[in-house]
Structure 1
Amino acid sequence: MSFNFFGCRKMAEAAAKSVLGTISRGHLECPICCCRFADPKILDCLHNFCLNCLLELISRQQPKADEITCPVCRRVTAVPDTGLQGLPKCFFLSNLVDEFNKQERLLGDGPTDAPTCEECDEGLEAISKCLDCCKLICTKCLEAHERLKSMRHHRIIGKEDHEFAEALIGPRKKGNLKCNKHHNQDICLYCETCKTLACAACAALDHRGAEHEYIVVADAIRLYRQDVGEILQRFEQNREEFKVADDSLSHARNRLRIKVARTCKDVTTKEEEEISKIRNKSRLLRDKVTQIGEARERKFEEVQKSNCDKMKRAEQIVATVNDLMQQADDFELLDLKPKVMHNLEFQDELDFEQAQHELSFIGVKCQDVVADTDIGEVLQKENWQLKVEFGETGQEDGTFLCAAGVACLSNGDIAVTDMEKSKLMVFTSTGEYKKNVGGEQLNNPGFVAVTTDGLLLVADKNYVKVLDSSLSVIRQFATSPDDADDKTDLSDITVDKENRIAVADSKRKIISLHHLDGSLIRTIPNDMFGGGLAIGIRERLVFTNFYESKLICTTYTGDEVFNVDTLLDGEPACPWGVCCDDAGDIFVNVGSERFDSCEVHHYSPAGVFIGRVARGLHSPVSLTFSQNGDLVVADGVSVKIFQRV
């Protein structure tokens, strides 16, 4: 197989030309003229433009000739007393353009004047170079070199050779930067007082006063890079603050949508009750709810966009500074230090606005429609009041000794377990007793939950029992090996929207996740569990630690999301029951160890305390939400239902 060297070389040159073209268009072209930079100048915002382009731009921005507006980011830069020529020159861009042009000419793709022969006076085009004579030669002089005995052994290179192109372009400039004022002096110092580069003569003549503090370039750039590095490191904290603010805004927007939908559904229910009289007023009220929701949605969106814009601008500055720190040489970096540090001051003003949680709620307070009155009142603030309380202390059916577990059935009924009586009782939504389940079906019922298809789950001693709509046990499963039954204590049970069942075992210190048929998905060890259990948004387990006054959230794989203290009037409070609403907000029963003063507290999905829902509870154990959004609390010797007002 033969190897085509020249073919491969042409392919390599073509690829190189393509890469150079991409770099030129993406990084070396002025945003104004879209041509390669010529005498690039840097504005205060760190954007670069050709000097001539800036001169034309400022001529169109009259009469404000003392400042110029960046056409990219619209920031204003003061024009120096010496004019735009006094703006800092971007040396690394200028050098990069020179090097780029050189490489293009080496590839034969750039504009260059045809060289003439340096051996004769006929002005013929040079086609070769004699390395021994160090001269460019034409065709005739090449023949002479080959004919004359004294030159026959001279080394000749042709136009296609790299060294021939190097002879046309000349070597790249090297050496230290020279002082603009003392042209024969090297820059070796940086005056911290004047924020400028200086040579030894400048230090002796212009910066010799006691007020001038200058250091050698190497130390100046080291300290400069150190300062910039510390500032950029602090920027990572801003990034985390942005994420927290953005997550809270996203949740608030999502919760608002859910509440708007639920409120509209409540309004529709009321509409259907008196449809002949209130259809038109119902439509008007839904529109009002929707308009309020849309207005708040826009407000959340504006805040979120503002935060994103701030972050985007910050990212742009950081990217520009990082690029500058990597590509510019030390002298240019020090020359640009005031502008770079000024741009990095954005962090002092980088303040992300958090979500106004109260704006994420919307509800409706319906009322009977008489004559021309409205169908209801739009609730724009979330307040709670006791709607219904039922049950009393006693041994009879419908009374309680220790109301513990509570769940709302698909038909609106409320199932309550009494641990002292070892019974599960069923009540209507208004508190009227209907029936109980115990005896052979349930031995020691504890906590309960309801699946999306209406099945009732009961933690009964060492088993989870599944009951149908008639409250008959249709199957059961154990959460631990048979030999671990005596070490098992099913403390709570909950179920997610995909009917995956989470069961807490306080003795084994685990939370087990099961399919509806009882098959194990995984176990999640957790030493912090010691109270109630709920499932929040995005496959998160929310649970409490009664003894350490903690509200904890983990993923299904056990990774901790948050761990916060539960407080009551500023003091540690013991939490027990916990549940989540359809938007993922968390509601917790808290109280003192004596249970003489208990409350229900409201937290965001991120574990941020929002407010109190109810006070003056006796001994709340578990709580849940009804289908219409009421909060149902099993409070020891009674059941309390709270509604938003």
Structure 2
Amino acid sequence: MAEAAAQTVLDNISQGHLECPICYCRFKDPKMLDCLHSFCLNCLVEMMRKQKTEAKKITCPVCRKETQVPDEGLQSLSSSFFLISLVDEINKQEQLLGKSVTSSAPCESCEEGQEAVSTCLDCKENICKKCEEAHQFLRYTKHHRIIPAQDLDKSTVAPTDLTKTVAPKCRKHIKQPLCFHCETCDTLICLMCAATEHRSAEHNFIGITDAIESFRKSVTDILQTFEKSKEQFASNEDSINHARKRLQKKLAQARSDISAQEEAEIAKIRNKAKLLTEKVDEIGQERDSEYEKALKHNREQMERADQIVTAVNDLMRQADDIELLELKPKVMHNLEFQKELKCEPAKVDMAFIGVKCQDVVSDTNLGEILLNEKWHLKEEFGKEGTGDGKFQWAAGVACFSNGDVVVTDVTQKRLSLFTSNGQFKTSVDQGTDSNQLENPWRVGVNCDDLLFVTDEDKVKIFDNKLQFVREFTPSVDDAEGPSKSDLSGIAVDKQRVAVIDWGRKVISVHNLDGSLIASTSNHLVRHYIAMSNKERLIFTNYKEKRLMCVDLKGNEVFNVMTVLNGKPAKPTGVLCDDDGSIYVALHCGTEGDIDEVHQYDSNGAFISTVAQGLYNPLGMAFTPAGDVLVACRHSVKIFERM
């Protein structure tokens, strides 16, 4: 039973790792191409015969990458010493297992029932004399290892100790062991080489141990860069998919708008409606095709990169130090692919398509196709003052599911509630009672219509009528900076609450009941924060003019400067859409209605301008319809997408 299990393991190893991808037989004199794939020398020779005689390159049948054939021929390609030694060991271990042929054993290769006289180790079959001759005649089996029956019964082959390493000899000075690596020539040398060809000052050679340590570090650094690239590709794929879904929604909305206008104009516009719909579909298909191409390009890039990474990892894990250093030029050449990686970004601007309908009685066409998303001011309420519905400094804003808007006034220390069209309903002012507010600052509403308000060192929670519900105090033991808390920013999603403690320079993430999920220290946090659906925290720094993103562990994802009219601008409020898009309010630093709201993609790249002509925009929020609320010091503005 034990011998059968051992034989099964050896068979699996041979089939999975020791068979040539060309002949599907166990490797014989394996040679390695530049792409790190190995093949039998005879198989490569046979491939070259089928090519043009003047060909100087050989194409890998696995990855199709070309390898320059040395002037001395294919036999001068690097030998895969690890595969050679492993094949030899597997062969010896198979013999030790005593896979014997008895005198009465029949041939397993033919149906004539002849007595088996040999065993083919590659076919793993007992064969008769005729089958043995046929093996030697056929091109695909003539290199198979055939052992006479009596030899298999002799367990005289001792297992090889793979832990012992024999130092390879120098190719020029065959009696000298290789002991140095010339960094200048990127090759292994012996003492004689060091004293002759490599003795000049321009040659820098070091011991093999130091060389392999440096080589392994270089490979590790590059592989880590690969991992970061994979993360970026995954992030871009999410953004592309979100944009693609949004495109479909916009296409549906565009068709709906066209149909509505079509019904209004009745029969005389039906033909024009059909033509316009076809045009919308055509553009939508073209853009969807662009997204498909982007996804395909990114996946192909990473598939190719993964092939290289897999080959390099296998080599780094399995080969010995000497072999690694001999193969270093090929490995590093393959890793140069990292520099060629080009991630196709999510073109969020292409995800918008709409229709601007017009009076077709006088116009030639039913409507105009809008290829770029535009915003316009839908509603504005509030003015400067101290009474109900007036603001001295509107800083925070949020919206309930019924459209009601809640606004914080940091000067009056007041929380006010308005209808969706700006009619004042009620307010909560500063008070001494524990249920009242001391210094309301930022606000956020979750899907259950609970209002979360930062108030000094506490987060207070109200319902959609501004009735107090409960409170919690964020507790972060590892916070840096002053010990006094100053909760200055808050963001809420379906299940979590993110809080900025400006006093302690900490971002903490909590469950809705206030229990801590994670926290991270960051000296750049100030007043505004948003949470994305990618487990990321996005915040701004007004003083440093930066838009930043970190994961829940505090690792930086991006850190970009915000710009307005070609000059660095001061960011305040920040929002994050379902597709990962980021909206940021920007101050140009001078007086007047010249501030703006900009849109960025999920990687911090600028997309477009959402709103212009603002005065001191601070907090922002989405309405249930997807409009953007902006607290502009003395008023609240509502912008909708066109």
Under a length normalisation based on structure 2, what TM-score does the superposition of the two structures give?
A: 0.71
Compared with structure 1, are the counterparts of its residues 503 and 189 closer, same or farther at alpha carbon in structure 2 (3 Å cutoff)?
Answer: closer
2:156 alignment partner AA: E
Larger Rg: 1
1:302 alignment partner AA: K
2:292 alignment partner AA: R
Q: What is the CA distance between 1:275 and its match in structure 2?
A: 6.2
Q: What is the CA distance between 1:70 and its match in structure 2?
A: 2.0
Residue 312 of structure 1 corresponds to which residue in structure 2?
306
1:39 corresponds to which of 12, 29, 33: 29
1:424 alignment partner AA: S
1:298 corresponds to which of 292, 297, 315: 292
Secondary structure of 2:98 counterpart: coil
Quick check: 2:254–2:354 contact (8 Å CA) kept in 1? yes
Compared with structure 1, are the counterparts of its residues 495 and 365 closer, same or farther at alpha carbon in structure 2 (3 Å cutoff)?
Answer: farther
Residue 478 of structure 1 corresponds to which residue in structure 2?
471
Quick check: 1:368–1:375 contact (8 Å CA) kept in 2? yes
1:618 corresponds to which of 602, 615, 618: 615
Q: % of aligned pairs identical?
A: 38
Quick check: 1:66–1:78 contact (8 Å CA) kept in 2? yes
User: Is 1:263–2:250 an aligned residue pair?
Assistant: yes
User: Is 1:424–2:416 an aligned residue pair?
Assistant: yes
Quick check: 2:95–2:157 contact (8 Å CA) kept in 1? no
Quick check: 1:549–1:573 contact (8 Å CA) kept in 2? yes
Secondary structure of 2:309 counterpart: helix
Q: Distance in 2 between matches of 1:168 and 1:567?
A: 71
User: Is 1:435–2:424 an aligned residue pair?
Assistant: yes
Q: Distance in 1 between matches of 2:52 and 2:201?
A: 38
Residue 75 of structure 1 corresponds to which residue in structure 2?
65
Quick check: 1:510–1:524 contact (8 Å CA) kept in 2? no
Q: Distance in 1 between matches of 2:545 and 2:369?
A: 37
Residue 145 of structure 1 corresponds to which residue in structure 2?
none
RMSD: 4.9
2:223 corresponds to which of 236, 242, 252: 236
Residue 597 of structure 2 corresponds to which residue in structure 1?
600
Quick check: 2:462–2:468 contact (8 Å CA) kept in 1? yes
Quick check: 1:587–1:600 contact (8 Å CA) kept in 2? yes
Residue 110 of structure 2 corresponds to which residue in structure 1?
none
Give ranges in structure 2 of 5+ residues lacking alignment: 104-148, 475-483
Secondary structure of 2:86 counterpart: helix
1:403 alignment partner AA: A
**1:267-346 correspondence runs (5 A):** 267=254, 270=257, 273-274=260-261, 276-277=263-264, 281=274, 284=278, 287-288=281-282, 290-323=284-317, 326-328=318-320, 330=322, 336=327, 338-346=329-337
Most deviating of 370-379 and 189-198 = 189-198
1:452 alignment partner AA: C
Q: What is the CA distance between 1:58 and its match in structure 2?
A: 2.0
1:452 corresponds to which of 419, 422, 447: 447
Residue 357 of structure 2 corresponds to which residue in structure 1?
367
Compared with structure 1, are the counterparts of its residues 319 and 615 closer, same or farther at alpha carbon in structure 2 (3 Å cutoff)?
Answer: same
Q: Distance in 2 between matches of 1:406 and 1:571?
A: 27
2:394 corresponds to which of 395, 403, 412: 403
Q: Distance in 1 between matches of 2:54 and 2:373?
A: 53
Compared with structure 1, are the counterparts of its residues 289 and 415 closer, same or farther at alpha carbon in structure 2 (3 Å cutoff)?
Answer: farther
Compared with structure 1, are the counterparts of its residues 112 and 254 closer, same or farther at alpha carbon in structure 2 (3 Å cutoff)?
Answer: same
Q: Number of residues paired by the alignment?
A: 566
Compared with structure 1, are the counterparts of its residues 177 and 243 closer, same or farther at alpha carbon in structure 2 (3 Å cutoff)?
Answer: closer
Q: What is the CA distance between 1:409 and its match in structure 2?
A: 4.3
Q: Distance in 1 between matches of 2:96 and 2:187?
A: 37
2:319 alignment partner AA: Q
Describe the superposition over 1:88-115 as per-residue Cα deviations: whole angstroms up to 9, x where unpaired.
44344333322322222122127899xx
Q: Distance in 1 between matches of 2:589 and 2:313?
A: 54
Secondary structure of 2:155 counterpart: helix
Quick check: 1:391–1:637 contact (8 Å CA) kept in 2? yes
Q: What is the CA distance between 1:583 and its match in structure 2?
A: 1.9
Q: Distance in 1 between matches of 2:468 and 2:446?
A: 14
Q: What is the CA distance between 1:308 and its match in structure 2?
A: 0.5
Q: Distance in 2 between matches of 1:561 and 1:90?
A: 42
Residue 128 of structure 1 corresponds to which residue in structure 2?
none
Q: Distance in 2 between matches of 1:179 and 1:389?
A: 83
Q: Distance in 2 between matches of 1:338 and 1:253?
A: 37
Q: Distance in 1 between matches of 2:535 and 2:263?
A: 44
2:239 corresponds to which of 237, 252, 255: 252
Secondary structure of 2:515 counterpart: strand
Q: Distance in 2 between matches of 1:68 and 1:236?
A: 27
Under a length normalisation based on structure 1, what TM-score does the superposition of the two structures give?
A: 0.71
Q: Distance in 2 between matches of 1:406 and 1:242?
A: 37
Secondary structure of 1:257 counterpart: helix
Residue 102 of structure 1 corresponds to which residue in structure 2?
92
Give ranges in structure 1 of 5+ residues lacking alignment: 1-10, 114-158, 482-486
1:466 alignment partner AA: F
2:471 alignment partner AA: A
